[in-house]
Structure formats: C-alpha cells, structure tokens
Chain A
Amino acid sequence: MKNNIIEIKNLVVDYDDERVIDGMDLDIGDKEFVTLLGPSGCGKTTTLRVIGGFVEPTAGEVLFDGKDIKALPPHKRQVNTVFQRYALFAHLNVFENVAFGLRIQKLPEQEIASRVQEMLALVNLSGYEKRSIDQLSGGQQQRVAIARALVLRPRVLLLDEPLGALDLKLRKGMQVELKRIQKSLEITFVYVTHDQEEALTMSDTVVVMNDGVIQQIGSPEDIYNEPINAFVANFIGESNILPGIMRRDFLVEFGGAEFVCVDKGFDKDEQVDVVVRPEDVKIVPQISGQITGVVESIIFKGVHFEIGIDSMGYHWKVHSTQSEQVGAVVGMTLTPDDIHIMRKMEGEK
C-alpha cells in the first residue's frame, strides 16, 4: 500500500451552476509525480486549485496527510503552486521574488540568502539575482516561478501547465529538468497539462480526465498500451479506433477480418471498440496482408511517414519508415499484442 499524501474523496465542484468536477476520487502518493491530463475544461486545473485552496469544493473531502484541509486558507497549506502564467512579482527582482515566502516567514537574512542562492543554482539561474523580471525570457521567468515555490520546501508542488508558454525545444529541456528536480528534492509533484507527450515523459502516474470525471489512472505505459476507453485511446497518442465484435475469447472481428487477440472475458458477440496504434500496423504486399486497402495520402513527419489507407470505408492511420505510392493497393498485418479491446463507453449507442 503506497503512502498517500493527498486523498481526494468524492469531490464535486460547481461553478456558476455548472458542474466542473463530478465525483472525483484520487489518491496521490508521497514523492510521486502525478499528472492530471485532459482537454481544456475537463476540470484538471480546478482540481489543482482545490488542492491549493483557491477553490472551495461543493462537496467531498480533500485530505492532506490524512487530515481534512477544507477549512485551511491557501497561505497555511504545505503546498506551493507554479502558476500558469508564472504570476511573478513585477516590482521585485529575481532574488526578492524567490525570497518572498522566506521573508513572510521572517527567517534570518543569512538563511534567506543561502536558501535563495541554493534554489537559483538548482534552476540554473545563479548570477541573475539582481535582474528585474521584465529582463528575463519566458523560460527564465518559468525557472524563477519554480524556484520561488520550491524554496519553501513544500511537501507538494502544484504545477499548472507551467510549460505552456514555452517553445517546443525549451519545453523538452524543461521536462527533463523538472523530472530531475522532482527526483533530487524527493517531493510530490502534481502536474496539470493537456499535452499527452509531456504527461507520458515525466509522470509516475497519469490521471486522464474528461468532463470533470476521471477516465483512467495508471502508469504512462499502462495508459498508452491499455487505454480503458476510446476517449483515452484517442487523447493519448494517435490511434485507429474501430467498431468490432468479440467472437469468442482471444478472437475479435473488425475491419473486415478476424484477428487473434489477447483479450478475454467478454460476452459472445459483444460489441467492442478496437484500438490499434498507427505505429503497430505493418504494411506488407497485398497478398500477405490480413486486410487490404488503398493508400490515400502520405505525409512526411520527420522520423516517419504518416500514411492514410482506406480499407472497406475505414480510414486507417499508419506510421511507417517506408514511403508508399498514393493509389497503391497494400496489405496490413497486426500481431495479437497490437490489438486493444475496450468495452463500449457508457451511454454510447
């Protein structure tokens, strides 16, 4: 049993009569890197703000170290936040921004100086103490925001889409850096993003959310390889989602053929969703394919080609390092491991 630092129980949040979070249960383990992932408006930021104390839950409990913290104002919680657009103090320089929380605690000057220096070193900003905030680049401002929150040695650091405003290369660098910081400081990170790649790269646990409801909780591998429903499959990476029928255990029919799969425990002839990742489809000569189709489009993506193939009216998305000719008839094969069977989502026809 993991040691939970935060437990969210049956959380409900209404905003202007609209239900933003609808009965959420989530345990966050100590020293864990948890990512809340989902499209905008799914309630992930609201969840973070509930933990930070900026949003009052309509119902439900938030336990911190086993104690209910509903009545605790933000400034008394052992969590700190890295805000979406940094929210740095424009009237203070880098040093004073980071020192802010320590000054509130009225620590001796010497300790403040050494802890600020230590944090600036951690985020690679040594020597920037006297700079004013508007002299910094977006990436540097981001680092100040992280240092400012971490200098207080919180038990939990909340990060609200902290890399959203950075360009791709900088974002990749910061992803690695954040993971390194989290490991070296051994504190819990709760990270909010809509970028699935970011979530998979950094997290120990990914929480996929949609419409205020948790869809799936799992390790990045689990979420990617075993999506629980079509929403998760679609949101995490690209995928082909086809309607299928479970003929019997280990045999599924979809796309005009029967395939051996690794799933069982479904009703006979149960309607299911079948997920196939584009990189798992192998393109073979027409005669050796389990199914065949016509190449519709080819887009060069750098590492691979994204090939669109029309097979019996379904438009397959296939990633291949080999290019094909538009209009060519090709075969496709799948191994049992490549086929992910999911029950139909509730409420779906």
Chain B
Amino acid sequence: MKSKLPSLPYLIWMAVFIVVPVGLVLYFAFTTQDGAFTIENISQVGQYTGVLLRSIWLAAVATVICLLIAYPLAFFLSRTRASVQRTFIMLVMLPMWMNFLLRTYAWMTLLENGGLINKFLGFFGLGPVQMINTSGAVVLGMVYNYLPFMILPLHSIMVKIENTTLEAAQDLGANWFQSFRRVVFPLSLPGVMTGVTMVFVPAISTFIISRMLGGGGNSLIGDIIELQFIGASYNPHMGSAISLVLMVIVLLCMSLFNQFDSSGKEGIYS
C-alpha cells in the first residue's frame, strides 16, 4: 500500500487526462444526440474510406522518407566525436523551438505559385511549377516537421553500438554491407520502431499541414475529424466515431510493425 503512494499523482493524471477522454470518445462514438446507444456513427465512417486510405498512404510515405533521410544521418553522426554530435543534435532541434504554424506558413510562401521557389525558377524561364496544394507538398510538410522525431531516437540507439562491435564483425570476415545487415541494422531496430511510431502517428492524424499545404483537394482524416467539431457540420458523435476508427487503425499498424520487430530479434536464422 505504502509503495503505491508516490505514484498517486501520476495515476490521477492518467485517469483525468487519458482514461476519461478515451471514455468520452467511446461514449460519443456509440451514442446519438439524445444519448441513445447506436452503431450508426461507426458504420457511417465507411464513407470516408478514401480519405482514410490517403491519410495512411501519405503518412506512410512521409515515414519512409524520414527513415531514409534520418537513418544514414544518425549512423554517421553516431560515429563522430561527442562535441560534433552535441552541436548537430542542437541544430536538429533548433527548428522545433519555432512555432509549428509559423514553420508551415514559411513553406507556404516558398511553395506558392508566386512563391520564392517559382520566382527563382522564373529567372531561368522555368515554371511556374504547381507545388502548393499537392499531396507532395503535404508529404514535404510532414517530413520537414517530423524528421527530428526520427533522428533523435535513431541517434540515441546508435551511439550505444560500439565501434569494437563493428570491428568484431569485420574481424570475423564481414564486409561493410554484411556488418550493416547482420549487426548494425538488427541492433538499431528498437530505434527504428520508436522513430516510426513518433513520425507515423502524428502524421496520420495531422490536419494543419494538409490544410495549409494541401489545399482543399488533399484533406486528410484529421481535417474530417476537425470539421465534425468546429465546422458547419458540427457532429461530435461522428467525430468521435472517426477518431475511434483511426485509433484502432493506428494500433493495428503499430502492432503489425512490432510483430516484425520481435520476429527480427529472434535472429534471422534460428
């Protein structure tokens, strides 16, 4: 009994800010405006299948691009001197000190038809290229905003891989590629897991990025949910139902991904 006391504030925190909200989402998702039980809301989510799939697809693309950029960067960074690493990590985090909206607005002025990039291209008689309001711009916004969340966990796991471990692999006859595939990659998997989760989950539910960079034609599931709460079609019951479906989808994606992780840990061979 005594030992539970220190954890009490956290338990209360979790109850108030996690359990209760999820309970409310559940309640709203399965009730009508009169408070009667219904599964109508859930079954209506089906009309948004297209948006859901696009959300999953764009978030997945952004996650993969983040991984491709961050992985080599984190690895080579982890092999440098501690002072270099500190400086670089600072630089990675620096943009995060700026407001999220501001950063995304900055991309708008860059990508617009009359924006900086198109003006620059104009000097050479090129363009204008349609960049804003494309799904590419949405992915770019996701990658730009969430890349640090991929770099940081990857870096922190890779600094734990000692140089002698890599030397041992080489010593046992592994060339560069083999050392990577059989030693570096399996050892870095927990970092990949964390990074993917930290990029994929916010990316799939974002609505700011898609609205500002994607225009009307590229709305994501996050935009649809937002509309249910503040838009003209105010319907928190529908909004909760979509949120619930999204949560289930995210959980499924993550558990699928973790499955792949634990099978990897057993060793490719045994």
Q: Mark A77-116, 1 if CB is under 8 A from B, else 0.
A: 0011101110111111101100111011100000000000
User: Considering the chains assembled together, what is the distance between the CA atoms of A81 and B182 in angstroms?
Assistant: 18
Complexed CA–CA distance, A45 and B187 (Å): 27
Whether A104 touches B164, Cβ cut-off 8 Å, given contacts A89-B183, A91-B186, A92-B267, is no
B167 and A83 contacting across the interface, CB-CB below 8 Å: yes
The interface size of chain A toward B, counting residues with CB under 8 Å, comes to 31
User: Is A73 engaged at the interface, CB distance under 8 Å to the other chain?
Assistant: yes
B168 at the interface (CB under 8 A from A): yes
Q: Answer yes or no: B38 CB below 8 A from chain A CBs.
A: no
B258 at the A interface (CB under 8 A): no
Shortest beta-carbon distance, A151 to chain B, in Å? Answer: 9
CA distance A269 to B215 in the complex (A): 100
Contacts of B183 in A (CB 8 A): 89, 91
State which of B71-79, B111-119, B170-178 sits at the interface with chain A.
B170-178
Within 8 Å CB of A75, what residues of B?
A: 170-175
Q: Is A289 an interface residue (CB 8 A)?
A: no
From B167, B172, B267, B269, A104 is in contact (CB under 8 Å) with B172
Does A54 touch B at the CB level, under 8 Å?
yes
Question: B122-147: which residues lie under 8 A (CB-CB) from chain A?
Answer: none
Interface size on B, residues (CB 8 A): 21
C-alpha gap A89/B269 in the complex (Å): 14
* Cα–Cα distance between A74 and B267 once the two chains are bound (Å): 25
- B164, A87: Cβ atoms under 8 Å? yes
Contact B172 A87 (CB under 8 A): no
Q: For the complex, is B265 an interface residue (Cβ under 8 Å from A)?
A: yes
**A73:B164 contact, CB within 8 angstroms:** no
What chain A residues lie within 8 Å of B165 (beta carbons)? 87-89
Q: Does A152 contact B (CB under 8 A)?
A: yes
Q: Is the CB of B265 within 8 A of A91?
A: yes
B164 near A80 with CB under 8 A, answer no
Q: Is the CB of B270 within 8 A of A100?
A: no
Min CB–CB distance A94 → chain B (angstroms)? 11
Nearest B-chain residue to A49, judged by Cβ: B167
- Interface Cβ pair total, 8 Å cutoff: 77
Q: Which residues of A contact B174 (CB under 8 A)?
A: 75, 100-101, 104
- Check A100–B265 contact: CB distance below 8 A: no
Q: Is A143 part of the binding interface, using a Cβ–Cβ cutoff of 8 Å?
A: no
Residues on B with C-beta less than 8 A from A80 are 171-172
> CA separation between A80 and B183, bound complex, in Å?
17
Residue A278 at the chain B interface, CB threshold 8 Å = no
Q: With A75-B175, A105-B173, A152-B173 in contact, do A87 and B168 touch (Cβ < 8 Å)?
A: yes
A89 contacts across to B, CB distance below 8 A: 165, 168-169, 183, 187
B169 touches A93 (CB 8 A): no
Asked whether, in the complex, the Cβ of A83 is within 8 Å of the Cβ of B173, the reply is no
The reply on B40 being an interface residue by CB < 8 A is no
Known contacts A91-B187, A91-B265, A91-B267; is A54 also within 8 Å of B167 by CB?
yes
A93 touches B172 (CB 8 A): no
Residues in chain B near residue A105, CB distance under 8 A = 173
Quick one: given A52-B171, A149-B172, are A90 and B270 in contact (CB under 8 Å)?
no
Q: Chain A: which residue is nearest B164 at the CB level?
A: A87
- For window 261-283 of A, CB contacts with B under 8 Å fall at none
Nearest-neighbor residue (CB-CB) of A96 within chain B: B267
Interface residues in B171-228 by Cβ distance below 8 A to A read 171-175, 178, 182-183, 186-187
Bound Cα distance from A91 to B164, whole angstroms = 15
Please pick, from A73, A92, A93, A99, the residue contacting B170 in the complex, using a CB distance under 8 A. Answer: A73
> Complex Cα distance A176/B178, Å?
35
What are 8 residue pairs bridging A and B, where the CB atoms are less than 8 Å apart in the complex? A80-B172, A81-B167, A85-B164, A87-B162, A95-B270, A96-B270, A100-B182, A152-B172
Which A-B residue pairs are the 4 nearest by beta carbons? A101-B172, A87-B164, A87-B168, A74-B170
Known A87-B168, A95-B270; 8 more pairs at CB < 8 Å? A85-B164, A88-B165, A89-B183, A91-B183, A91-B267, A104-B173, A104-B178, A148-B168
